[in-house]
Chains A and B, each alone.
Chain A
Amino acid sequence: MKPFGYLDGLVVPLDRPNVDTDAIIPKQFLKSIRRSGFGPNLFDEWRYLDHGEPGMDNSRRKPNPDFVLNAPRYRGAQILLCRENFGCGSSREHAPWALEDYGFRAIIAPSFADIFYNNCFKNGLLPIVLDAKTVDGLFHETFGNEGYRLAIDLEKQVVVTPSGERIGFEVDAFRKHCLIEGLDDIGLTLVHGDEIRAFEDRYRGAQPWLFIGNEK
């Protein structure tokens, strides 16, 4: 996983609430058995005028000029500014994979769906929750100022605006640590392998029926 420390990035505003994971990456692209390559199909149904299928040459497709990601002023954006309940719907990790593959490193919204929020941290993507009023203000700034950028300092847990305003945000200490270091949490968990085994033995004694079934 790519470590996340400090980011100074262009902001793109996606001005609609309840953006679901079906919109972020439509189902036909979930047929892939790979973890990468989803970026060209991020927001596929909004981003292109024609219907997309896996294996198509996306550079030859017709982009939707009305979709915000296609506006030249937002090209190369690394920060996605969103409305409430972003990432609702399915548990598909293809959603953060697609966002990351496209080039996003951080997402700012008043709220996120739980599973999506959790999946972001596994993929070097930082989801930042700010109150709805602050987010609304950032939308105004982004729309009003071409080339609007934000700086994000994860260590200090602060978003810094071009005018120097510092907006603090909350992040779980363990997730922050893993993101800054780019840590694989399976390795961290396996350090406690003996404890897991000891728990399992006690547990097997107490509820032996949980260890039958297909283990018969």
Chain B
Amino acid sequence: MEALNLYDKLWGSHVVREEKDGTALLYIDRHLVHEVTSPQAFEGLRLAGRKPWRTGSVLAVADHNVPTTGREGGIRDAVSRLQVETLDSNCEDYGILEFRMNDLRQGIVHVVGPEQGATLPGMTVVCGDSHTSTHGAFAALAFGIGTSEVEHVLATQCLLGKKSKSMRIAVEGELGRGVTAKDIALYVIGRIGTAGGTGYAIEFSGSAVSALSMEGRMTLCNMAIEAGARAGMVAVDEKTIEYLRGRPFSPQGELWEAACSYWRTLKSDEGAHFDATVTIDAAEIRPQVTWGTSPEMVVAIDGAVPDPKHFSDPVKRQGMERALAYMGLSPNQKIEEIVVDKIFIGSCTNSRIEDLRAAAGVVKGRHVAKNIRLAMVVPGSGLVKRQAEKEGLDRIFQEAGFEWREPGCSMCLAMNDDRLSLGERCASTSNRNFEGRQGQGGRTHLVSPELAAAAAIAGHFVDPGRLP
């Protein structure tokens, strides 16, 4: 029998039909929907007189546009409110399950899916959001789609496409102290570049990946798109299965047993072929901080801002110069000397309970530095928030001077009121440091929750191990 990799297996088991040129009709198991990329899809459906193919495959939640404070009063911004209300009414019209804004289960779609067990191994999972790659942590084939494709999946339960190439990124060995899944992700992007994974589906493997919790694996797969890959994935192991046991959408009883035995086959066969392989020594990875306006512009916490004059490619050099000007940094500046204004702990990358515990561990018994204008924690879902409150993490954060908010995408993309002002510098646990991403003229440095917490305490970047 031919040795298959995980991606081959996931792809192959969902092909409804295939044309001679390799264009396949791929069956979709789970369709996650949010308010920003769906209204035009529902409108298209309505105009064509079509109905959703299988409403039970769809789960909707508003996350991008919801406020993280003062929810009792509803959404103040009329344009945002209309978008969220449009999702509500579309879901009502078509009988789609939606967790509304004040539902305890509401949160960021990529936190909610796995938390509910709505993401299961072996599934194809799509959402009109590029960070859908997150769900690949469960050995699912998960990727982001545009609004036309949202409409296509609603109408046909399928997508048209060609198989990508496969890449294995093996991270072998033990991670150093204080090195997290976020640091692996940033390190990988620094190494292969933001277009390094374009055209590929990435499987993350190796002993350092196996050692990660499910939360860590989600963080890693989440950022596959920042390496250019639409999908990232990790094979099933006992951690995957334990995470899913007893979740609201997980199968139970006999079905659970049957599912588990199938799920255990969801790993690459010995000797399976990959179109590209990257091997990384885990011991090389230090905590990472981005310095520029692309996630590949990244260095270790004990490093310095690079000097563009050492780069010969003119396009690359100009890109770096433009990034430095935008970021207000100079070549060779030490990362630990960069002073920050705001702290954002949240986003689909780093807002799960484990992330909040890690950040709280750094913050406990300390206080936010005087120069910090705002430090905020935005839990990934209402359930994450409740769990954190049970553990007293909210008090740790608040006593240290952090704001404790309601769940949503918040300042990761600043569609709601949470944003940076012109020139403000932020240590952020999110996934994109593009110009203007967190607010026009805002300057974003991507880091792990531990590093964001440490920057809040010190007022500048610092290795948490060196905090007084």
A residues at B contact (CB < 8 Å): 16-18, 20, 22-23, 26-28, 30-35, 45, 51, 54-55, 83-85, 88-93, 96, 111-115, 118-119, 122-123, 172-174, 185-186, 189-190, 192-193, 195-196, 199-200, 203, 207-215
Contact = CB atoms under 8 A, between A and B. Distances in A.
Contacts of A199: 16, 27
A209 B27 contact: no
B434 interface: yes
A17 B316 contact: yes
Interface of B: 16-17, 19, 21, 23, 25, 27, 29, 36-37, 39-40, 43, 48, 50, 53-54, 56-57, 59, 64-65, 77, 79-80, 82-83, 86, 97, 117-118, 120, 122-123, 128-130, 132, 144-149, 151-152, 155-158, 160-162, 164, 194-195, 198-199, 228-230, 248-249, 251, 255-256, 258-259, 262, 294, 315-316, 318-319, 322, 413-415, 432, 434-437, 440
A88 B194 contact: yes
Given A91-B129, A214-B59, 15 more contacts: A34-B40, A85-B194, A85-B198, A91-B146, A92-B37, A92-B146, A174-B23, A185-B160, A189-B155, A189-B160, A192-B25, A195-B16, A199-B27, A207-B259, A208-B255
A11 B146 CA distance: 26
A90 B48 contact: no
Nearest to B437: A22
Nearest to B82: A33
B436 A22 contact: yes
Contacts of A172: 21, 23, 162
**Residue of A51, A54, A90, A195 most packed against chain B (CB within 10 A):** A90
A189 to B, nearest CB: 5
A16 B325 CA distance: 14
A113 B82 contact: no
A23 B128 contact: no
B19 A174 contact: yes
Nearest to A1: B148
Contacts of B40: 33-35, 93
A122 B148 contact: yes
A213 B25 CA distance: 24
Nearest to A51: B440
Contacts of B195: 18, 84-85, 88, 111, 113
Contacts of A18: 194-195, 294, 319
A115 B144 contact: yes
A173 to B, nearest CB: 5
Contact of B65 (A31, A122, A195, A213): A31
Contacts of A192: 16-17, 25
**Residue of B122, B148, B440 most packed against chain A (CB within 10 A):** B148
Given A22-B434, A91-B129, A115-B130, A30 B255 contact: no
B432 A22 contact: yes
A213 B198 contact: no
Given A88-B228, A173-B21, A189 B259 contact: no
B436 A16 contact: no
B145 A91 contact: yes
Contacts of A115: 130, 144-146, 230
A85 B227 CA distance: 11
B79 A32 contact: yes
A209 B146 contact: no
Contacts of B130: 89-91, 115
**Residue of B48, B199, B437 most packed against chain A (CB within 10 A):** B437
A118 B143 CA distance: 13
**Residue of A84, A115, A119 most packed against chain B (CB within 10 A):** A115
